[in-house]
Structure 1
Amino acid sequence: MGLQSIRIKNLLSFDDVIINSLEDINCIIGMNNTGKSNLMKMLKYFYDKLDDIKVIPPDFHSSYTPSGSITLTYDVTRIKKIVMNANNDGRFHKHIYNTLFKPQSFIRKPHRLVFSFPFNFPSTFQRKSTYSITLTISKDDSVTWSIKDPNARRLIKTLFPFFHIETRHIDLYDWNSIWKMVSSINSFNFSEIKKEDLLEFLDEKISTKRGNYKKYIERVESAIHTKPYSYKDKVVNYLKIVLDGDIFTNKGEDLHVQSDGTNSHKYLEVILSLLISLTRTEFINPIIYIDEPEIGLHPKLSESFIENLSLIYKKYDKTTEEIEPNKYSTPYPTFLFSTHSSSLLKLTLKSFLHKQQILHFSKGSDGATKISKLNSKYDDARFINMISDNEARLFFSEYILFVEGATEVELFRNYNLQKLFPVLKRLDVYDCDEVMLKNINPSYSNAAIPFLIVKDIDQIAVVDFENAKFKFNAKGKAIINKAIRNNKLDYFSRRRNPFFNTAKFLASQDGRNVTFSDNGLRFKQFSIGRIISGVNSLSSRDNVFYTSTTIEGSLINESSLELFSLWIKNLIMKDFGINNGNPSKMIDALLQKYNIKTQSKQLFTRIFSNCKTNHDLSLRHMRLLTVIKIRYAKEIIEEFKEKIPDVKDQLAILRLAFSGKTETLVSIEMHYKIDGKPIHQDILDYIKELKLENFSFLSPYMGKTSGWVTSFIDFSLNHYASLDKEKVGKNFRLAFPELLHIIDHASSSIEAGGLK
């Protein structure tokens, strides 16, 4: 109950937006400059005009439209039920009834019954009653109301008062504004208290001699001239007179003693406590907008803002449909707060479950604010328990890249790669499992946040080695079947529809027989690349991209193979030093034992270790060491190419060695679990030999999170920069096409303002 909906047309950043079905707790999120504060400004302007306050009107969103408007719709079902009850004949009840619900609201016209405001429909046709008011602003700055009766407008403001708190502008040491709020949320009839009666009462209670107090007041009045109290001033003064004092404290101490953050937090806590507790037995249904309550607060203190709100909320909640002793049936105030804090968002989801909603503000390509009501009421208890700041922050993202593991995170957060492609600084890379991905991705939550999900192809396809078949699993088949269902057009349209044709082709490949190369590393007469291209064509509509094998395969590919060899040589030259107390003596001894021209491998393994220790060596020794490294690098790479002459086999072996997979979707670990033993043992023995002997120096780099990805990317960028600084991006794009597809998707999506 209370404020039900907001509609704003052609004002500030709003073209025409509607917020329907406000909840008790409404959390507003979005990037800076998307219109969150503009909503507060519009509500404040609306309520200022209800009081006929002279304020500067807001700018129009489009100067081509001659007017703008704000429409607020209130749920008056409960108030209507109360005031139309014959047993409720108090003065305030009658005033509400006569102003909002009197029978004159019905207008009879020939052949039909029409209802003017305040009714939308007769109560006999609609159980829920609403009351809408529209404020229209014209180009000449004049305003008009859809409700002409000023008494009705004032009553609506009384019944549904609006409060706003701009946290950065709170007077942290003067909280007298709280008294003004308190005076707006009661329905006591203080007008019945006559000044003469009050004087008589006080004179009797405090005068030592009858009439002394009255004479004292008369002398004061004769000497000073004051403006009469407003009704709200009277309310505050009557309230203060029975309190112990009117100077606020924080933890029993003066406000000036406490820190700004502590005072800000306590101020909000007091406001919320008063609004909830004082309105639980009132007609009045306040609306409060708090702009960024986390400002100036330590993250833990800002979290307690939501925790305290939840505690107060539950304290005054009723636990069954019937009214219980000491429980309350009146509606809660309507809270709206905007935030950039993932902590506040996380606790809102956890603490209020199905009594909250998240409104996501974004900007369209035309610069207009778009408001999406997120699917934030999660039924998956696992997600609610698991969600942390890391997940909640994704709701504030400009672009999200969902990945499968730490290697991808390491890659796309690479500092030097971000310098080359600045768009990477604007996206969030998130390593997630299926539970988190299902609940957090914008397709599910309905957030206007562009995103891409990067998966390995083995997530949807399998190779049955025992029966020599390529198959799609249930997820893969679902992608294909969805495309076929969505494109069931007439015969000629189907023939022209690329998605339909692609889906039919992929369906024909499911369960097809395949053959393998002699060593088991590749397919024969079967193009896995065509399969991946087709799957990505269908999946692009769901913002999913499948890599050709794994992310390791995206890095180690035919276009980057020569670059990978250069990186290996660079490691040898720069990352290996001498860990010996007397290096000169050791070098001379080994050179007497081994021939530098023919036994560079033996010399390298005995002299160098994976360290960068520098020693004061003679120029002759330094040159000798350089020669040994160069000869060693050349020898092992040439030996590798001679042993494995086919480039595609070279790729497969390097991918396997660096924790990747072959195009037949096999990893080193998987090989021993597959009955068909797809990779021949001599290849496995060779990979083992590489790790233990020829490429043993690479062993520290061969794990998934060993740092080889960072090292390889940094080297690649430096290498291309040394060739031509102007063409680094172009060369990198040619070497790593799958990476650039992902980067281009982010770039185009962000530039399109999230419309992609």
Structure 2
Amino acid sequence: MGFVKITLQNYRAFPNCAPVTFEVHEGITFLLGVNNVGKSALLKAFFELRPLILVQELRHSRGGTRSLNVSMQTSFDRLCNRSTPNHAITIKIEDETSGWILKLRPVNAQPHNSQLAVTVNTIGNPSDQLISIVHDLFHSSMYVGSFRSPAVEVSDKLYDIQIGKRFVAEWDLWANGIRIDHSNQVEALVQELKELFGFNRFSISVSQDSAQLHLHTDDGRFALNELGDGIAHYVIVLGNAMTRRPAFIFIDEPEIGLHPRMQEIFVRTLASKAKYGLLATSHSVGLARSVADQIVTITRESDGRRRCLPYGEHRTETMVQSISELGYSQYAEIGGNHLLLVEGRTDIKSFREILRKFNLEKHFLIWSLNGSDWLRADPAMISDELNELKRLNARSISVIFDSERTSYEMDVAPHLKPFLNLCHSLGFQVFPTDRHSTENYITQAALDELIPGHKALGPFEVFGTNGSKWAKTKNWLLFQRMKAEDFDGTGLKNFILDTLAGAVTRTD
């Protein structure tokens, strides 16, 4: 999918004089910012304004203007910015060349009215692809609010999340109904939960009165609301994502109630249930840097205007500072006291999935070397920063990067040899890939399952040739679909089993 730009004006935290504009991309995007800057309002817009985004009206409005009345669950005065209640709420949805401007006013100028008059003006000639993306954003999405305690059962629904008896009934239908594909997905999710929480024994059943879920663990049988919010958080949100299979997931503060390491696993697992991507708000810079493909900071200017900027645009940090921000000491407390450096940000999630197949994920904190340009830098400029990593007192430091080799006989691309030699001189365990790049390990079966129509790369083919180019944000999802035996016969598997696993065995 392409990107979509959304502008909100006079909606909730964004006054008429200071609209906010942000982009939605494929993959995992995190919104960072201080309290009350409008992060949650951005996410909630996709849920709250859903009834107004009538795709058929957008389609028919091409080249002109349309007007209609829409019934809302919330009155206009609850939606608009309180400083300018007499102005229309404006929503602009666009790609690079076209889109729509929607203006919303209360019918009969009654601010408490939940009947809204909507005017749709078309920009250019919106494509069918843009219309499809807008439909997915507003009507095939799942919004998860920030308060998700299973004890909240005053109703059977919290925004888009089913809770209480409605959730139990849906789980029962999927687990015990006639559709084999549904029961297989339930089994797969239960297995994921078992692995994520480290249980030897784990299953989920429905109580005899169909009122609640029972979780069977190493410590016995428990009702869902008898366990900590962390496990319940996982089961409820992931269970809803499993049954809905949304195109996009919007989640407010996914770190709530979870240990730092579990936060990361939760976000990755949840994002894997979405067709296109996940958009989250957070106060955790470390979590964002460890899982996100895009990080956006929302700031409030002196005139009240909000700006959405790429995180780090005006920041310079060493890797040690970044890893400390992530919470390295908390990782070490639960066994993640080995450091693995990989080439780029998308490689972090990819290698988490790869190590997970060899039961090594929990032992490693994985961090990015900031991309291939950094590997090509003058060793004198980066040696101090790499050497500084030793201050973390990690039990081992390993490095995996794309060798860019073009044959089995070639060792590593010449421009990468200075970096390789520097890592060796610092005592790091280093593996330049025995194939051209990370993408060359992805199998045809994984591609056929996730993104049919793409051709797997040969060992030394360059990514992007022969119809083999896909979004790198998909790499981790492709590796998620592979098995340990898919790496048989590769130097990568040998490095994982001999060097990485060996370091864990020797030091833990």
Select the structure of larger CA radius of gyration: 1
Higher helix share: 1
Please indicate, yes or no, whether the TM-score normalized by the shorter chain is above 0.5: no
